[in-house]
A and B are shown apart, each in its own frame.
Chain A
Amino acid sequence: MNENHIVSSFDEDLAELNQLVARLGGLAEQQLAAAVDALENRDASSIDKIIAGDAELDQLEQDLNDRAIEVIAMRAPMATDLRSILSAVKIATVLERVGDYSKNIAKRSLVIINEETNRAETISLARIADIVQGMLRQALDAYATANADLAMEVWERDEEVDELYTSLHSDLLRVIASGHEQASVSSHFLFIAKNIERIGDHTTAVAEQVYFQVHGEMPPEERPKADASSQIGESD
């Protein structure tokens, strides 16, 4: 639907909400990238900034909620307009959560920053982080361009994240269970991996919202779920 509203200030309101989502998305991406960099480069210098940056994300989400309520009250939006506002609010919630996870990654990174971690596990985590960052970027692009097909690609890529995470999870559990001196570091590492995996899940929620906004219904099938770590945890 490319036609503009007869009341052009309504278009401006919707554009403003889109811009707020874009800013939130940009900030969430930045926070995640900074947290992953801090961990991979063993660089503590940016961690305070990441923790402070989270408050900005929280504020931005609040601003978006306030604007969305005003637009709904004042414009009484219908159909696609209504769905796009609802999606913006939901996506903002997700991006705020991405920020929380990034902050948590940063905090835990600080604890293990001077510790040795297993090289294979570090590479595996970097791989997961790389995919998740790509997914987040793609989900935000899909939102910006209202491209439901692109959004569904993000949705499908989460399967790979889940598989990698399940594998890393069992490696780390083995170290923790062995009582090795690295167990404490590994448990932090495990939480970091879990946080990144959760960001992947949340990113699929963004993708679902893009699909919903475009089609007016949620994606037809259950997302393929490959995170078997919960079952492994129980059987081990």
Chain B
Amino acid sequence: MVNSEASQVKIKARKVTVHYGDARALHGIDLDLNANEVTALIGPSGCGKSTFLRCINRMNDVIEGCRVGGAVSIDDQNIYSDEIDVVELRARVGMVFQKPNPFPKSIYDNVAYGPRIHGMASSRAQLDAVVESSLKRAGLWEEVKDRLDAPGTGLSGGQQQRLCIARAIAVNPAIVLMDEPCSALDPIATAVIEELIEELRRDYTIVIVTHSMQQAARISQRTAYFHLGNLVEHGPTQAIFTNPENQQTEAYISGKIG
């Protein structure tokens, strides 16, 4: 599954630390994430995996008292340097959250929101095309093409989540971060999203936080196990789930520590 020849490092984290006030949440993470791969971040609650995820698009900046140290670079550019435009960064690094959070707007406007504020479409026809292609890539087009004016919040949970994915990819990001994107969905909607993730990785680098070991095993090429703010083990997913090197990883994936 992991094609080492083709894999190219997209995101490079070096000595990444995060403090919330005086509490240190990450203790110096070194991690390379490959382009066009799905990397799953796993670990018990409070292990730092979501904190790490939020370092990749500087979402931690908006949390009061949060300090990030070390460096995270995307395509060898440090995203914590002063020249970085954070708004532009968040267009390059899209994010999908645990609970589907469509804007209280129409399906169309949800997807068109990003391209509009980033000035990515110069005509209505161009915007229509972006909305259509984004909904198609998110696997939602056939289900909503006849009711684009209907409110996004009226869709089912699984559809809402795909709408959020369409919204994230409408601004043409390089990376999509997903923080437990299926934990509020039923198994069918989950399977649809998982299938979608597999398709999306052709165009995007995907980093997903999940509490489901089976989901990590099903959809990711690499898995990173976090525990108490440290990266314990990182490797090809099939190795992590069949024969992990670290005893702590083994205990976690086998359901021996909570």
Q: Which of A81, A216, A217 contacts B254 (CB 8 A)?
A: A81
Q: Are A76 and B213 in contact (CB under 8 A)?
A: yes
Query: Smallest CB–CB gap between A14 and chain B, Å?
Result: 10
A52 contacts the other chain (Cβ, under 8 Å)?
A: no
- Determine the chain A residues whose CB is within 8 A of the CB of B214 once the complex forms: 76
- Determine the chain B residues whose CB is within 8 A of the CB of A10 once the complex forms: 255
Q: Are B241 and A6 in contact (CB under 8 A)?
A: no
Q: Are A79 and B255 in contact (CB under 8 A)?
A: no
Query: Smallest CB–CB gap between B62 and chain A, Å?
Result: 35
Q: Are B255 and A216 in contact (CB under 8 A)?
A: no
For residue A215, which residue of chain B has the nearest CB? B243
Q: Are A216 and B243 in contact (CB under 8 A)?
A: yes
- Determine the chain B residues whose CB is within 8 A of the CB of A4 once the complex forms: 256
Query: Smallest CB–CB gap between A146 and chain B, Å?
Result: 14
A83 contacts the other chain (Cβ, under 8 Å)?
A: yes
Q: Which of A1, A5, A76, A79 contacts B242 (CB 8 A)?
A: A79
Q: A6-B258, A81-B254, A82-B242 are in contact. Are A1 and B247 (CB under 8 A)?
A: yes
Q: Are A1 and B250 in contact (CB under 8 A)?
A: yes
The answer for the CA separation of A236 and B214 in the assembled complex, in Å, is 58
Q: Are B256 and A79 in contact (CB under 8 A)?
A: no
B168 contacts the other chain (Cβ, under 8 Å)?
A: no
Q: Are A6 and B255 in contact (CB under 8 A)?
A: yes
- Determine the chain B residues whose CB is within 8 A of the CB of A181 once the complex forms: none
- Determine the chain B residues whose CB is within 8 A of the CB of A1 once the complex forms: 247, 250-251, 254, 256
- Determine the chain A residues whose CB is within 8 A of the CB of B253 once the complex forms: 78-79
Q: A1-B250, A216-B242 are in contact. Are A6 and B256 (CB under 8 A)?
A: yes
Some 12 contacts from A to B, beta carbons below 8 A apart, are A1-B251, A1-B256, A5-B255, A10-B255, A76-B213, A76-B214, A78-B217, A78-B241, A78-B254, A79-B243, A79-B244, A82-B242
Given contacts A79-B244, A81-B254, 8 further A-B contacts (CB under 8 A): A1-B256, A78-B217, A79-B241, A79-B250, A79-B253, A82-B242, A83-B242, A216-B242
